[in-house]
Structure 1
Amino acid sequence: MTVNAVRLNHAVLFVADLERSIAFYQQAFDMGVAARELRVNAAFLRLPRSGNHHDLGLFGVGAQSARPRGSLGLYHLAWQVDTIEELEEARFTLANLDALTGESSHGATKSVYAHDPDGNEFEVMWMLPRASWGEFENAALVERLDLPGEVRRWAGVRTAAELVPLDAS
């Protein structure tokens, strides 16, 4: 028997400076603070279009040495957007925050990468419509992203509603 999960609900990060991290995620994603727990120096943030209680938890633990890249532990989080235009907007926002670190096409998904003030890497991605996955169904490519070309091809196509099929059994 396995766990019958639908999707990852939220992530929680340890951060050096709680207020700095809240400000970053507000600027990057327009997240709002849904709740605070002062006894443990924590804040729980919600995306503007989320129906979730919180999408990201932040626990301020003070300055510490960063984990070396490639060491055991979390590599990155991935935030999904609904349209390719929103991915283009995310790229612009993250570049303006001096947080953008890269971009790539993974076939079925198109992604930009960034890091928060503590070096936690994250991905903002847009997924092709399920019916268009084709050869990418079981592939994990890492190729150059032609974002302007993808915007021209997929403009106006929304895919977030395809996340969880109504009849998943």
Structure 2
Amino acid sequence: MPIDPVRLNHAVLFVADLDRALDFYTEVFGMTVVAREPRAHAAFLRLPRSGNHHDLGLFGVGPDAPARARGGIGLYHLAWQVDTVEELAAARELLLTAGAYAGESSHGATKSVYGADPDGHEFEIMWMLPRQDWGRWEHEAPVEALDLAAELHRWPGTPTAGTLVQDSAPAERA
């Protein structure tokens, strides 16, 4: 019998400078620091609308740690889902302002913008079409140009992320 998970709960990244990474993820993603583990030089962060204990763990390993070459074995990117296409457009603008924007594309059922954190970890911010509108993309994942203006016109205010948690007890910021 296979393991039967329901979703990826969190990701953990090794970073050169823990404080720099905390600044990035709290400022760009609005995450809060929910726990620190000084013995491991680690911090754990939660997204504002998440029901998880933490969504991201960061372990500071210092600037002399070896970097993974792009295209080498290992993690390619993390994908963070937003609830509406308007949130995707706002994320694009924030990434541009933060100097972290790396591109955008349409994958049919999902619309995405891409960025990278100060250590070069790539990430995707994505919005998913309503399930009933996947159509031919049920079994396809093209990489095509994103026409964000057209998506905003077609899907205004359409939430697709499911149940969101309101952050009732903000934790420490970096």
Identify the TM-score tier after normalising by the shorter chain: over 0.9
Name the residue aligned to 1:134: 135
Q: Which residue of 1 aligns with 2:3?
A: 3
The Cα of 1:162 is off from its aligned counterpart by 7.8
Query: How do 1:62-101 and structure 2 match up within 5 A?
Result: 62-63=62-63, 64-101=65-102
Distance (whole Å) between structure 2 residues aligned to residue 38 and residue 69 of structure 1: 30
Q: TM-score, normalised by structure 1?
A: 0.94
1:66 Cα deviation (Å)? Answer: 2.1
1:124-164 CA distance string (max 9 Å, x none):
0000000000000000100000011101110110000189x
Is the 1:130–1:162 contact (alpha carbons within 8 Å) kept by the matching residues of 2? no
Q: SS at the partner of 2:26?
A: helix
Moved over 6 A (4+): none
The 5 A counterparts of 1:28-107 are 28-63=28-63, 64-107=65-108
1:108-137: CA deviations, max 9, x gaps?
Answer: 000000000000000000000000000000
Query: What is the CA deviation profile of residues 19-56 of structure 1, one whole-angstrom value per residue up to 9, with x for unaligned ones?
Result: 00000001111000000000010000000111110000
CA shift, 1:65, in A, is 3.5
Q: Deviations over 1:51-99 (max 9, x none)?
A: 1100000000001342111000000000000000000000001111100
TM-score (norm. length: structure 2): 0.92
Show the counterpart of 2:167: none
Partner of 1:151: 152
* 8 A contact 1:17–1:61 mirrored in 2: yes
Distance in 1 (alpha carbons) for counterparts of 2:120 and 2:92: 17
Pairs aligned (count): 163
How far apart, in 2, do the equivalents of 1:135 and 1:116 lie? 33
Say which structure, 1 or 2, has more relative contact order (CA 8 Å, 6+ apart).
2
Q: Tell which deviates more after alignment, 61-70 or 105-114.
A: 61-70
Which whole-Å CA distance do the structure 1 matches of 2:122 and 2:61 have between them?
18
Give the corresponding residue for 1:25: 25
